[in-house]
Amino acid sequence: MLNKIKSLREEVAALTAANAEEVEQLRIKYLSKKGAVSLLMNDFRNVPAEGKRAVGQAINELKNFATDRINELREALETADGDVDGLDLTRTASDLRLGTRHPLSLVREEIVSIFSRLGFTVAEGPEIEDDWHVFSSLNFAEDHPARDMQDTFFIQRSPDVLLRTHTSSVQSRVMERTQPPIRIVCPGRVYRNEAISARAHCFFHQVEALYVDKDVSFADLKQTLLYFAREMFDSNTKIRLRPSYFPFTEPSAEMDISCNICGGKGCSFCKHTGWVEILGCGMVDPNVLDACGIDSKVYSGFALGMGVERITNLKYQVKDLRMFSENDVRFLDEFTSAR
């Protein structure tokens, strides 16, 4: 019996196979229920008691040896070059599917990068804010409608805890802890209690810019705005400032740019006026400087704030604001080349 095992072992050691099918045949021949190794078990019954131990051990060893050998043959074939079992292992791997940058991130980064070329650095603040930083420090009157529940999401009342309605809150946070010169851009998400539609959402994104130093003038603001508009859109972009009102700036203005879709000739996007509004701006109100611990007799500043969705719409003509937050891959994939 031991001789039989020995010769089987030699047989197994010499096995070769040219393909997976042959390996499978060998597995069946030696290891299946009716295979050569299993059949040894039948003979095992007839081995006298005193020999059982040695023979049992030898059969077990043979079984392990045959299993290893057949696995080895299979692995050798799988790692070999060339066409194995219809698998072409020399084929180039298929492309990895890369994600795309979100259009709002692309535009936010472009805005920040334009301002950083002018020496502005990024400042950020919390989305969950208090009344002081969002409203009071920014010169909002007690009864200003923006403080109303209809516009603002309150988390808690007296003391008020709320979701910031604009990134201007970062202005006051930075001014409170820094003396001029201050030159910051503040990108971030803001929240307003609006019904969600194609043209409004309960959250969106803004970038605020603030410059405070000695002798900062409206001319500085205007030049910065022109530079921004021409870098962001094209070098022929015109800007126009219309007087406006914001509690935290005096004087205040809104800036239009010549419509970058029709080049100013008039189209449905600019309602045939040739101009589109893109941001609010103005000279920081001295009350705001003083409220934040900056001496308004020594320093002056300008501020501006814009909606990232609005700029993105102008650059990419996204018709429905909801597209930005639905994570539809068909929409996001359109920005692959901008990545």
Our finding on whether 152 is near ligand DAH (CB under 6 A) is no
Q: What is the DSSP string of 105-165?
A: HHHHHHHHHHHHTTT-EE----SEEEHHHHTGGGT--TT-GGGSTTT--EEETTTTEEE-S
* Of the candidates 54, 49, 40, the residue with the CA atom closest to the CA atom of residue 5: 40
Task: Evaluate whether 31 touches 62 at the Cβ level (below 8 Å).
Answer: no
Give the footprint of ligand DAH on residues 248-277 (CB under 6 A): 249
241, 329 in Cβ contact below 8 A? no
- Listed ranges 21-29, 41-49, 151-159, 301-309: which one lies at the site for ligand DAH (CB under 6 A): 301-309
User: Given the complex with ligand DAH, which of 58 and 138 has the nearer CB atom?
Assistant: 138
How many residues of this chain interact with ligand DAH, rule: CB under 6 A?
Answer: 11
Closest CA to 293 of 140, 178, 133: 178
Separation between Cα atoms, residue 152 and residue 173, nearest integer Å: 19
- The nearest distance, CB 337 to ligand DAH, in angstroms, is 31
301 binds ligand DAH (CB under 6 A): no
- Residues 198-217 contacting ligand DAH, CB under 6 A: 208
280 interacts with ligand DAH by CB under 6 A:
yes
Q: Which of 111, 174, 221, 281 binds ligand DAH (CB under 6 A)?
A: 281
Nearer to ligand DAH, 27 or 164 (CB): 164
Q: Which stretch binds ligand DAH (CB under 6 A): 2-10, 28-36, 235-243, 299-307?
A: 299-307
Binding residues (CB under 6 A) for ligand DAH: these are 166, 168, 208, 246, 249, 280-282, 303-305
